[in-house]
Amino acid sequence: MTRTEYETLNRAYPTAMNVWKDRMLEMSKGDILAQMIEVMEYPMLGKILVGIEFDIIKSRENDDGL
């Protein structure tokens, strides 16, 4: 992530970023993600999930081609 991307996320999701910064050293990755999801706005999470789904589909297509 670039500094500009980090700053953009920090401006767009200040509460989520504060949770991340406060808890990232004390919590497991799963716990951190759960906290992030709880405070994240729907459109952003939707975009993330669409991206994950796309990556899964592409990975499966590549695996089938081997």
Per-residue pLDDT at 55: 92
The predicted-structure confidence for 36-63, as pLDDT tens digits, reads as follows 888 888 888 888 889 999 999 999 998 8
The predicted-structure confidence for 6-33, as pLDDT tens digits, reads as follows 899 889 999 888 887 887 778 788 887 8
Every domain of the chain and the residues it spans:
3-64
Which 8-state DSSP code applies to residue 26? T
Mean pLDDT of the residues in the chain: 85
Per-residue pLDDT at 58: 92
From residue 32, alpha-carbon distances to 4, 16, 50, 56 in Å are: 22, 10, 20, 22
Max CA pair span of the chain: 44
Which pTM value belongs to this model? 0.47
